[in-house]
Structure 1
Amino acid sequence: MSPASVVEHVVLFRIKDGADPAAVASWLEGLRSLAALEVVAHLAAAAVLRCRGPLQFTHALHCRYRTAADLAAYATHPAHLEVVRDFGAGICEGLVAVDWVAELDTATEVGLRPSAAVRVTLARLREGAAAAERTEVAAALREAGASSRGVEQVTGGENFSPARADGFAVASLWAFPSSEELPMLEVEGSSAAESVVTVDFVVPPLPTLSCPDPLEG
Protein backbone atom coordinates (compact mmCIF):
# COMPACT_ATOMS: atom_id res chain seq x y z
CA MET A 1 0.00 0.00 0.00
CA SER A 2 1.55 3.30 -1.06
CA PRO A 3 2.12 5.97 1.60
CA ALA A 4 0.43 9.36 1.70
CA SER A 5 2.56 12.45 2.24
CA VAL A 6 1.54 15.08 4.79
CA VAL A 7 3.25 18.13 6.27
CA GLU A 8 3.59 18.06 10.05
CA HIS A 9 3.54 21.43 11.84
CA VAL A 10 4.29 21.59 15.57
CA VAL A 11 4.51 24.71 17.71
CA LEU A 12 5.56 24.51 21.36
CA PHE A 13 4.58 27.51 23.48
CA ARG A 14 5.68 28.87 26.83
CA ILE A 15 2.86 30.83 28.45
CA LYS A 16 3.77 33.54 30.94
CA ASP A 17 3.66 32.70 34.63
CA GLY A 18 0.55 34.22 36.12
CA ALA A 19 -1.28 34.53 32.80
CA ASP A 20 -5.04 34.91 33.24
CA PRO A 21 -6.56 31.40 32.93
CA ALA A 22 -9.53 32.86 31.06
CA ALA A 23 -7.17 34.44 28.51
CA VAL A 24 -5.35 31.13 28.08
CA ALA A 25 -8.65 29.31 27.59
CA SER A 26 -9.77 31.85 24.97
CA TRP A 27 -6.45 31.49 23.16
CA LEU A 28 -6.76 27.69 23.07
CA GLU A 29 -10.34 27.98 21.86
CA GLY A 30 -9.17 30.32 19.11
CA LEU A 31 -6.42 27.94 18.03
CA ARG A 32 -8.81 24.98 17.96
CA SER A 33 -11.30 26.91 15.84
CA LEU A 34 -8.69 27.00 13.07
CA ALA A 35 -9.40 23.31 12.46
CA ALA A 36 -12.35 24.56 10.38
CA LEU A 37 -10.03 26.02 7.74
CA GLU A 38 -10.18 24.05 4.51
CA VAL A 39 -6.39 23.84 4.27
CA VAL A 40 -6.09 22.15 7.68
CA ALA A 41 -6.23 18.35 7.62
CA HIS A 42 -5.82 17.97 11.40
CA LEU A 43 -5.34 20.36 14.32
CA ALA A 44 -4.96 19.81 18.05
CA ALA A 45 -4.01 22.40 20.69
CA ALA A 46 -3.56 21.38 24.31
CA ALA A 47 -1.72 21.93 27.55
CA VAL A 48 1.49 19.92 27.90
CA LEU A 49 1.41 16.89 30.20
CA ARG A 50 5.19 16.58 30.53
CA CYS A 51 8.18 18.41 29.13
CA ARG A 52 11.71 17.03 29.39
CA GLY A 53 14.81 18.86 28.27
CA PRO A 54 16.70 22.14 28.63
CA LEU A 55 13.69 24.22 27.52
CA GLN A 56 10.30 24.16 29.18
CA PHE A 57 7.00 24.53 27.33
CA THR A 58 3.44 24.69 28.62
CA HIS A 59 1.28 24.16 25.51
CA ALA A 60 1.50 22.43 22.14
CA LEU A 61 -0.12 22.90 18.74
CA HIS A 62 -0.01 20.08 16.20
CA CYS A 63 -1.37 20.48 12.68
CA ARG A 64 -1.26 18.42 9.52
CA TYR A 65 -1.54 19.72 5.97
CA ARG A 66 -1.75 17.89 2.68
CA THR A 67 0.87 20.14 1.07
CA ALA A 68 3.41 22.82 1.94
CA ALA A 69 1.20 25.26 0.03
CA ASP A 70 -1.63 24.52 2.47
CA LEU A 71 0.72 25.25 5.38
CA ALA A 72 1.67 28.57 3.78
CA ALA A 73 -1.99 29.43 3.24
CA TYR A 74 -2.73 28.66 6.90
CA ALA A 75 0.18 30.82 8.10
CA THR A 76 -1.14 33.89 6.28
CA HIS A 77 -4.86 33.25 6.72
CA PRO A 78 -6.67 36.19 8.40
CA ALA A 79 -8.29 33.90 10.97
CA HIS A 80 -4.90 32.54 12.04
CA LEU A 81 -3.34 35.99 12.21
CA GLU A 82 -6.27 37.19 14.32
CA VAL A 83 -5.78 34.42 16.88
CA VAL A 84 -2.06 35.18 17.10
CA ARG A 85 -2.61 38.93 17.42
CA ASP A 86 -5.70 39.10 19.61
CA PHE A 87 -5.30 36.06 21.85
CA GLY A 88 -1.69 34.86 21.89
CA ALA A 89 0.46 37.98 21.83
CA GLY A 90 -0.25 39.05 25.41
CA ILE A 91 0.24 35.71 27.13
CA CYS A 92 2.97 33.90 25.17
CA GLU A 93 6.60 34.57 26.14
CA GLY A 94 8.31 32.09 23.87
CA LEU A 95 7.79 29.44 21.22
CA VAL A 96 9.51 26.97 18.92
CA ALA A 97 7.98 25.91 15.60
CA VAL A 98 9.07 23.09 13.31
CA ASP A 99 7.78 21.56 10.08
CA TRP A 100 8.63 18.30 8.38
CA VAL A 101 7.30 16.04 5.64
CA ALA A 102 5.90 12.71 6.81
CA GLU A 103 4.74 9.57 5.08
CA LEU A 104 1.55 8.00 6.43
CA ASP A 105 0.17 4.65 5.37
CA THR A 106 -2.93 5.31 3.29
CA ALA A 107 -4.94 3.24 5.78
CA THR A 108 -3.89 5.59 8.57
CA GLU A 109 -6.21 8.35 9.67
CA VAL A 110 -4.67 11.74 8.93
CA GLY A 111 -6.40 13.13 12.00
CA LEU A 112 -5.63 11.85 15.50
CA ARG A 113 -8.70 10.95 17.52
CA PRO A 114 -9.58 12.76 20.76
CA SER A 115 -7.88 11.28 23.85
CA ALA A 116 -4.93 10.02 21.79
CA ALA A 117 -1.62 10.76 23.49
CA VAL A 118 1.15 12.40 21.48
CA ARG A 119 4.87 12.53 22.12
CA VAL A 120 6.83 15.15 20.17
CA THR A 121 10.63 15.07 20.24
CA LEU A 122 12.85 17.86 18.92
CA ALA A 123 16.60 17.43 18.49
CA ARG A 124 19.15 20.22 18.16
CA LEU A 125 22.30 18.82 16.59
CA ARG A 126 25.82 19.64 17.64
CA GLU A 127 27.64 22.33 15.66
CA GLY A 128 29.09 21.00 12.45
CA ALA A 129 26.82 17.97 12.22
CA ALA A 130 26.64 16.69 8.66
CA ALA A 131 23.46 16.25 6.66
CA ALA A 132 23.87 12.49 6.96
CA GLU A 133 23.78 12.79 10.74
CA ARG A 134 20.47 14.69 10.59
CA THR A 135 19.07 11.88 8.50
CA GLU A 136 20.40 9.28 10.95
CA VAL A 137 18.88 11.04 13.97
CA ALA A 138 15.50 11.30 12.25
CA ALA A 139 15.62 7.61 11.32
CA ALA A 140 16.62 6.63 14.87
CA LEU A 141 13.66 8.53 16.33
CA ARG A 142 11.27 6.88 13.89
CA GLU A 143 12.69 3.44 14.69
CA ALA A 144 12.43 4.04 18.44
CA GLY A 145 8.81 5.07 18.05
CA ALA A 146 7.94 2.14 15.81
CA SER A 147 9.34 -0.31 18.37
CA SER A 148 7.32 1.18 21.26
CA ARG A 149 4.48 -0.94 22.61
CA GLY A 150 1.04 0.31 21.62
CA VAL A 151 2.20 3.01 19.23
CA GLU A 152 -0.35 3.82 16.50
CA GLN A 153 1.45 6.42 14.39
CA VAL A 154 5.10 7.39 14.00
CA THR A 155 6.51 10.17 11.85
CA GLY A 156 9.80 11.98 11.84
CA GLY A 157 12.01 14.05 9.63
CA GLU A 158 14.24 17.06 9.12
CA ASN A 159 12.78 20.48 9.88
CA PHE A 160 12.45 22.60 6.74
CA SER A 161 11.43 25.86 8.50
CA PRO A 162 14.44 27.04 10.53
CA ALA A 163 13.27 30.62 11.18
CA ARG A 164 11.40 29.85 14.41
CA ALA A 165 12.99 26.51 15.26
CA ASP A 166 15.65 27.81 17.69
CA GLY A 167 18.19 25.46 16.13
CA PHE A 168 16.09 22.30 16.31
CA ALA A 169 16.80 20.44 13.09
CA VAL A 170 15.02 17.11 13.56
CA ALA A 171 11.57 16.27 14.90
CA SER A 172 9.44 13.21 15.49
CA LEU A 173 5.88 12.47 16.55
CA TRP A 174 4.57 9.30 18.14
CA ALA A 175 0.85 8.75 18.79
CA PHE A 176 -0.66 6.30 21.29
CA PRO A 177 -4.22 5.32 22.20
CA SER A 178 -4.05 7.13 25.55
CA SER A 179 -1.68 8.77 28.03
CA GLU A 180 -1.34 5.51 29.97
CA GLU A 181 1.28 4.29 27.49
CA LEU A 182 3.50 7.36 27.80
CA PRO A 183 5.12 7.15 31.28
CA MET A 184 6.92 3.91 30.41
CA LEU A 185 8.68 5.44 27.41
CA GLU A 186 11.85 7.48 27.36
CA VAL A 187 13.54 8.98 24.32
CA GLU A 188 17.26 8.29 24.20
CA GLY A 189 19.68 10.89 22.95
CA SER A 190 22.16 10.61 20.10
CA SER A 191 25.84 11.41 19.85
CA ALA A 192 24.95 13.88 17.09
CA ALA A 193 22.35 15.65 19.24
CA GLU A 194 23.40 18.63 21.34
CA SER A 195 20.05 18.79 23.14
CA VAL A 196 16.68 17.05 23.01
CA VAL A 197 13.26 18.29 24.10
CA THR A 198 10.38 15.85 24.55
CA VAL A 199 6.80 16.99 25.07
CA ASP A 200 3.71 14.89 25.78
CA PHE A 201 0.11 16.03 25.35
CA VAL A 202 -3.37 14.58 24.81
CA VAL A 203 -5.55 15.40 21.81
CA PRO A 204 -8.57 17.31 23.17
CA PRO A 205 -12.21 16.76 22.19
CA LEU A 206 -13.20 18.06 18.79
CA PRO A 207 -14.41 21.68 18.94
CA THR A 208 -17.60 23.05 17.51
CA LEU A 209 -16.23 24.40 14.24
CA SER A 210 -17.44 27.84 13.24
CA CYS A 211 -14.35 29.51 11.78
CA PRO A 212 -14.96 31.21 8.42
CA ASP A 213 -12.75 30.08 5.57
CA PRO A 214 -12.51 32.50 2.69
CA LEU A 215 -8.76 32.41 2.03
CA GLU A 216 -8.89 35.84 0.51
CA GLY A 217 -10.53 37.02 3.63
Structure 2
Amino acid sequence: MPVQEMQAQSALLQIHSGAVCAANLTVARLRSVFYSRLSFLPSARRSISLNCEPQYAKYLCTSAAMDRTVKTSTRVIEHIVLLKSKERAPTEQQDAMVSGLRSLKSLPMVIELNAGKVAHASSEGYTHALHCRYRSKDDLASYANDPYHLDVINKCIVPIVEDRLALDWEADVEEPVLQSGSYGAVRILTMKPKQELANSEIEGTIDALKEYTSKFSFVKQVSAGKNFSPARAKGYEWAYLAMFPSTKELAELINSDGYKGLHSKVSSIMEKFNIVDYHTA
Protein backbone atom coordinates (compact mmCIF):
# COMPACT_ATOMS: atom_id res chain seq x y z
CA MET A 1 0.00 0.00 0.00
CA PRO A 2 1.42 3.47 -0.93
CA VAL A 3 2.66 5.59 1.99
CA GLN A 4 0.28 8.42 1.06
CA GLU A 5 -2.75 6.11 1.23
CA MET A 6 -1.68 4.73 4.63
CA GLN A 7 -1.33 8.27 5.95
CA ALA A 8 -4.75 9.24 4.62
CA GLN A 9 -6.42 6.23 6.22
CA SER A 10 -4.74 6.96 9.54
CA ALA A 11 -5.94 10.54 9.48
CA LEU A 12 -9.51 9.54 8.70
CA LEU A 13 -9.73 7.41 11.85
CA GLN A 14 -9.25 10.52 13.97
CA ILE A 15 -11.98 12.62 12.39
CA HIS A 16 -15.47 13.25 13.82
CA SER A 17 -18.22 11.04 12.34
CA GLY A 18 -19.68 13.92 10.34
CA ALA A 19 -16.27 14.74 8.92
CA VAL A 20 -15.67 11.07 8.12
CA CYS A 21 -18.85 11.11 6.09
CA ALA A 22 -17.68 14.17 4.17
CA ALA A 23 -14.19 12.77 3.67
CA ASN A 24 -15.62 9.63 2.10
CA LEU A 25 -17.09 11.79 -0.64
CA THR A 26 -13.62 12.36 -2.07
CA VAL A 27 -13.27 8.63 -2.63
CA ALA A 28 -16.78 8.47 -4.06
CA ARG A 29 -16.07 11.22 -6.56
CA LEU A 30 -12.92 9.47 -7.74
CA ARG A 31 -14.85 6.25 -8.18
CA SER A 32 -17.63 8.05 -10.02
CA VAL A 33 -15.19 9.10 -12.76
CA PHE A 34 -15.09 5.43 -13.74
CA TYR A 35 -18.61 4.38 -12.81
CA SER A 36 -20.45 7.32 -14.31
CA ARG A 37 -19.95 5.85 -17.77
CA LEU A 38 -21.40 2.55 -16.60
CA SER A 39 -24.54 4.27 -15.39
CA PHE A 40 -25.10 5.57 -18.89
CA LEU A 41 -25.07 2.12 -20.50
CA PRO A 42 -28.71 2.03 -21.67
CA SER A 43 -28.48 5.52 -23.19
CA ALA A 44 -25.01 4.81 -24.48
CA ARG A 45 -26.18 1.82 -26.49
CA ARG A 46 -28.84 3.90 -28.17
CA SER A 47 -26.46 6.81 -28.67
CA ILE A 48 -23.81 4.74 -30.42
CA SER A 49 -26.29 3.74 -33.09
CA LEU A 50 -26.89 7.45 -33.70
CA ASN A 51 -23.17 8.30 -33.75
CA CYS A 52 -23.49 10.39 -30.61
CA GLU A 53 -20.97 10.63 -27.81
CA PRO A 54 -22.61 8.99 -24.72
CA GLN A 55 -22.07 11.87 -22.27
CA TYR A 56 -23.65 14.37 -24.63
CA ALA A 57 -26.29 12.15 -26.23
CA LYS A 58 -29.23 14.06 -24.81
CA TYR A 59 -27.87 17.26 -26.35
CA LEU A 60 -26.40 16.10 -29.66
CA CYS A 61 -28.62 13.29 -30.92
CA THR A 62 -30.81 13.91 -33.94
CA SER A 63 -34.14 15.64 -33.57
CA ALA A 64 -35.90 12.43 -34.59
CA ALA A 65 -34.34 10.61 -31.65
CA MET A 66 -35.39 13.36 -29.25
CA ASP A 67 -38.90 13.99 -30.56
CA ARG A 68 -41.19 13.73 -27.53
CA THR A 69 -44.11 12.85 -29.79
CA VAL A 70 -42.51 9.44 -30.36
CA LYS A 71 -42.64 8.16 -26.81
CA THR A 72 -40.80 5.06 -25.71
CA SER A 73 -40.71 3.72 -22.19
CA THR A 74 -38.45 1.49 -20.14
CA ARG A 75 -39.27 -0.68 -17.13
CA VAL A 76 -37.27 0.41 -14.09
CA ILE A 77 -37.23 -0.11 -10.34
CA GLU A 78 -37.88 3.03 -8.28
CA HIS A 79 -36.60 3.38 -4.71
CA ILE A 80 -37.40 6.26 -2.36
CA VAL A 81 -36.28 6.88 1.21
CA LEU A 82 -37.68 9.58 3.49
CA LEU A 83 -35.59 10.56 6.51
CA LYS A 84 -36.32 12.56 9.65
CA SER A 85 -33.22 14.03 11.24
CA LYS A 86 -32.97 14.53 14.98
CA GLU A 87 -34.16 17.95 16.10
CA ARG A 88 -30.72 19.07 17.27
CA ALA A 89 -28.67 17.42 14.55
CA PRO A 90 -25.86 19.84 13.57
CA THR A 91 -26.25 21.48 10.18
CA GLU A 92 -22.79 20.25 9.20
CA GLN A 93 -23.81 16.64 9.79
CA GLN A 94 -27.06 17.09 7.87
CA ASP A 95 -25.14 18.54 4.92
CA ALA A 96 -22.64 15.68 5.14
CA MET A 97 -25.51 13.19 5.08
CA VAL A 98 -26.93 14.72 1.89
CA SER A 99 -23.48 14.66 0.29
CA GLY A 100 -23.05 11.04 1.33
CA LEU A 101 -26.40 10.09 -0.16
CA ARG A 102 -25.59 11.85 -3.42
CA SER A 103 -22.24 10.07 -3.63
CA LEU A 104 -24.14 6.76 -3.94
CA LYS A 105 -24.72 7.68 -7.56
CA SER A 106 -21.18 6.42 -8.21
CA LEU A 107 -22.32 2.82 -7.61
CA PRO A 108 -22.52 0.90 -10.92
CA MET A 109 -26.04 -0.47 -10.43
CA VAL A 110 -27.54 3.02 -9.98
CA ILE A 111 -28.85 4.65 -13.16
CA GLU A 112 -30.45 7.71 -11.52
CA LEU A 113 -30.13 9.22 -8.06
CA ASN A 114 -31.01 12.45 -6.32
CA ALA A 115 -31.17 13.53 -2.70
CA GLY A 116 -31.87 16.74 -0.87
CA LYS A 117 -33.41 18.67 1.97
CA VAL A 118 -37.20 18.76 2.18
CA ALA A 119 -38.76 22.13 1.34
CA HIS A 120 -42.34 21.14 2.20
CA ALA A 121 -43.77 18.12 3.99
CA SER A 122 -47.07 17.07 5.49
CA SER A 123 -47.57 16.24 9.16
CA GLU A 124 -45.07 13.38 9.38
CA GLY A 125 -42.22 15.88 9.30
CA TYR A 126 -39.59 14.21 7.13
CA THR A 127 -36.56 16.44 6.61
CA HIS A 128 -34.59 14.74 3.80
CA ALA A 129 -35.37 12.54 0.81
CA LEU A 130 -33.59 10.18 -1.57
CA HIS A 131 -34.70 8.75 -4.92
CA CYS A 132 -32.79 6.01 -6.76
CA ARG A 133 -33.51 4.15 -9.98
CA TYR A 134 -32.28 0.70 -11.10
CA ARG A 135 -32.70 -1.62 -14.06
CA SER A 136 -33.91 -4.60 -12.02
CA LYS A 137 -34.80 -5.90 -8.57
CA ASP A 138 -31.45 -7.70 -8.54
CA ASP A 139 -29.69 -4.35 -8.96
CA LEU A 140 -31.73 -2.94 -6.07
CA ALA A 141 -30.65 -5.90 -3.92
CA SER A 142 -27.01 -5.40 -4.93
CA TYR A 143 -27.27 -1.72 -4.00
CA ALA A 144 -28.81 -2.53 -0.61
CA ASN A 145 -25.92 -4.87 0.25
CA ASP A 146 -23.10 -2.85 -1.28
CA PRO A 147 -20.35 -2.13 1.31
CA TYR A 148 -20.10 1.54 0.35
CA HIS A 149 -23.87 1.99 0.67
CA LEU A 150 -23.79 0.37 4.11
CA ASP A 151 -20.87 2.62 5.06
CA VAL A 152 -22.87 5.73 4.15
CA ILE A 153 -25.81 4.48 6.23
CA ASN A 154 -23.68 3.76 9.30
CA LYS A 155 -21.57 6.92 9.19
CA CYS A 156 -23.88 9.53 7.71
CA ILE A 157 -27.46 8.47 8.48
CA VAL A 158 -27.58 6.44 11.69
CA PRO A 159 -25.91 9.11 13.90
CA ILE A 160 -28.44 11.86 13.12
CA VAL A 161 -31.68 10.24 11.86
CA GLU A 162 -34.51 9.26 14.19
CA ASP A 163 -37.01 7.91 11.67
CA ARG A 164 -37.15 6.74 8.05
CA LEU A 165 -39.31 4.88 5.57
CA ALA A 166 -38.66 3.39 2.15
CA LEU A 167 -40.80 2.22 -0.76
CA ASP A 168 -39.91 0.36 -3.95
CA TRP A 169 -42.01 -0.06 -7.07
CA GLU A 170 -41.83 -1.05 -10.72
CA ALA A 171 -42.61 1.61 -13.32
CA ASP A 172 -42.55 2.16 -17.05
CA VAL A 173 -40.92 5.56 -17.46
CA GLU A 174 -40.59 7.61 -20.60
CA GLU A 175 -37.13 7.86 -22.12
CA PRO A 176 -34.60 9.08 -21.34
CA VAL A 177 -34.39 7.06 -18.14
CA LEU A 178 -31.39 9.11 -17.03
CA GLN A 179 -32.61 12.61 -16.13
CA SER A 180 -29.70 13.97 -14.06
CA GLY A 181 -29.10 17.69 -14.48
CA SER A 182 -32.52 18.35 -16.03
CA TYR A 183 -34.49 18.86 -12.81
CA GLY A 184 -34.09 20.63 -9.48
CA ALA A 185 -37.25 19.75 -7.54
CA VAL A 186 -39.14 16.54 -6.81
CA ARG A 187 -42.57 15.80 -5.36
CA ILE A 188 -43.21 12.45 -3.66
CA LEU A 189 -46.57 11.12 -2.48
CA THR A 190 -46.80 8.00 -0.33
CA MET A 191 -50.26 6.51 0.03
CA LYS A 192 -52.23 3.79 1.81
CA PRO A 193 -55.70 3.25 0.27
CA LYS A 194 -58.80 2.59 2.34
CA GLN A 195 -59.29 -1.15 2.73
CA GLU A 196 -62.78 -1.31 1.23
CA LEU A 197 -61.68 0.06 -2.16
CA ALA A 198 -61.25 -2.13 -5.23
CA ASN A 199 -57.81 -2.24 -6.82
CA SER A 200 -59.26 -0.97 -10.09
CA GLU A 201 -60.52 2.21 -8.42
CA ILE A 202 -57.19 2.82 -6.69
CA GLU A 203 -55.15 2.24 -9.83
CA GLY A 204 -57.49 4.32 -11.97
CA THR A 205 -57.35 7.32 -9.64
CA ILE A 206 -53.56 7.26 -9.28
CA ASP A 207 -53.12 6.75 -13.04
CA ALA A 208 -55.34 9.78 -13.68
CA LEU A 209 -53.10 11.92 -11.46
CA LYS A 210 -50.01 10.58 -13.19
CA GLU A 211 -51.41 11.19 -16.67
CA TYR A 212 -52.51 14.72 -15.82
CA THR A 213 -49.07 15.54 -14.43
CA SER A 214 -47.34 14.26 -17.56
CA LYS A 215 -49.36 16.63 -19.77
CA PHE A 216 -47.34 19.61 -18.51
CA SER A 217 -44.42 20.09 -20.90
CA PHE A 218 -42.08 21.24 -18.12
CA VAL A 219 -42.52 18.00 -16.12
CA LYS A 220 -39.35 16.03 -16.71
CA GLN A 221 -40.72 12.69 -15.62
CA VAL A 222 -43.52 11.16 -13.58
CA SER A 223 -43.72 7.70 -12.03
CA ALA A 224 -46.19 5.83 -9.85
CA GLY A 225 -46.66 2.28 -8.66
CA LYS A 226 -47.46 -0.21 -5.92
CA ASN A 227 -44.82 -0.84 -3.27
CA PHE A 228 -43.27 -4.31 -3.16
CA SER A 229 -41.16 -3.82 0.01
CA PRO A 230 -43.72 -3.58 2.84
CA ALA A 231 -41.26 -4.21 5.69
CA ARG A 232 -39.83 -0.68 5.49
CA ALA A 233 -42.89 1.23 4.28
CA LYS A 234 -44.76 1.91 7.54
CA GLY A 235 -48.01 0.77 5.98
CA TYR A 236 -47.77 2.81 2.78
CA GLU A 237 -48.67 0.80 -0.31
CA TRP A 238 -48.40 3.22 -3.25
CA ALA A 239 -46.01 5.95 -4.33
CA TYR A 240 -46.01 8.79 -6.86
CA LEU A 241 -42.97 10.79 -7.96
CA ALA A 242 -42.66 13.78 -10.31
CA MET A 243 -39.54 15.72 -11.39
CA PHE A 244 -39.51 19.45 -12.19
CA PRO A 245 -36.88 21.94 -13.40
CA SER A 246 -37.41 23.97 -10.20
CA THR A 247 -39.91 24.71 -7.44
CA LYS A 248 -41.47 27.35 -9.73
CA GLU A 249 -42.78 24.69 -12.11
CA LEU A 250 -43.79 22.46 -9.20
CA ALA A 251 -45.89 25.33 -7.82
CA GLU A 252 -47.46 25.89 -11.24
CA LEU A 253 -48.59 22.28 -11.35
CA ILE A 254 -49.99 22.02 -7.83
CA ASN A 255 -51.83 25.34 -8.17
CA SER A 256 -53.60 24.26 -11.37
CA ASP A 257 -57.31 23.52 -11.02
CA GLY A 258 -56.98 20.10 -12.63
CA TYR A 259 -54.26 18.97 -10.25
CA LYS A 260 -56.12 20.30 -7.21
CA GLY A 261 -59.18 18.28 -8.18
CA LEU A 262 -57.26 15.06 -8.81
CA HIS A 263 -55.11 15.54 -5.71
CA SER A 264 -58.27 15.95 -3.63
CA LYS A 265 -59.79 12.83 -5.17
CA VAL A 266 -56.67 10.77 -4.52
CA SER A 267 -56.37 11.91 -0.90
CA SER A 268 -60.07 11.21 -0.27
CA ILE A 269 -59.65 7.49 -0.98
CA MET A 270 -56.56 7.13 1.19
CA GLU A 271 -56.30 6.04 4.81
CA LYS A 272 -52.80 7.54 4.95
CA PHE A 273 -51.48 10.23 2.61
CA ASN A 274 -48.05 11.86 2.85
CA ILE A 275 -46.51 14.66 0.75
CA VAL A 276 -42.82 15.56 0.43
CA ASP A 277 -41.32 18.23 -1.85
CA TYR A 278 -37.55 18.62 -1.94
CA HIS A 279 -34.67 20.28 -3.77
CA THR A 280 -32.14 18.10 -5.58
CA ALA A 281 -29.25 20.60 -5.53
TM-score bucket (shorter structure):
0.7 to 0.9
Aligned to 1:59: 128
Aligned residues with identical type, % of pairs? 36
Of 164, 176, 197, which aligns to 2:274?
A: 197
Structure possessing the higher radius of gyration over alpha carbons: 2
**SS at structure 1 position matched to 2:218:** coil
Aligned to 1:122: 190
Aligned to 2:35: none
CA shift for structure 1 position 137: 3.9
Distance 2:137 2:201 in 1: 24
Aligned to 1:82: 151
Higher RCO structure, 1 or 2 (CA under 8 Å, sep 6+): 1
Q: 1:195 to 1:189 in 2, by over 3 A?
A: farther
TM-score, normalized by length of structure 1?
0.85
1:94 aligns with 2:163: yes
Deviations along 1:24-46, one digit per CA (max 9) or x if unpaired, are 12222211111100001111110
Question: In structure 2, what residue type is equivalent to 1:83?
Answer: V
Aligned to 2:46: none
Aligned to 1:17: 87
CA shift for structure 1 position 61: 0.3
Q: 1:115 to 1:202 in 2, by over 3 A?
A: farther
1:169 aligns with 2:237: yes
Unaligned runs of 5+ in 2: 1-70, 255-259
Aligned to 2:104: 34
Unaligned runs of 5+ in 1: 205-217
Which has the larger helix fraction? 2
CA shift for structure 1 position 148: 4.3
Deviations along 1:124-167, one digit per CA (max 9) or x if unpaired, are 11234443344234313312322446322111111111111111
CA shift for structure 1 position 103: 1.0
Distance 1:80 1:199 in 2: 23
1:145 aligns with 2:206: no
CA shift for structure 1 position 192: 2.4
4+ runs deviating over 6 angstroms: none
In the TM superposition, 1:173-184 aligns within 5 A as 173-184=241-252
Aligned to 2:264: 188
Question: In structure 2, what residue type is equivalent to 1:194?
Answer: E
TM-score, normalized by length of structure 2?
0.67
Contact 2:183 2:220 in 1 (8 A): no
Aligned to 1:157: 225
Aligned to 2:116: 46
Question: In structure 2, what residue type is equivalent to 1:76?
Answer: N
Aligned positions, number: 202
CA shift for structure 1 position 196: 1.4
Question: In structure 2, what residue type is equivalent to 1:25?
Answer: D
Deviations along 1:99-120, one digit per CA (max 9) or x if unpaired, are 11111223x2423326521111
Q: 1:149 to 1:41 in 2, by over 3 A?
A: closer
CA shift for structure 1 position 56: 1.4
Distance 1:123 1:69 in 2: 25
Question: In structure 1, what residue type is equivalent to 2:148?
Answer: A
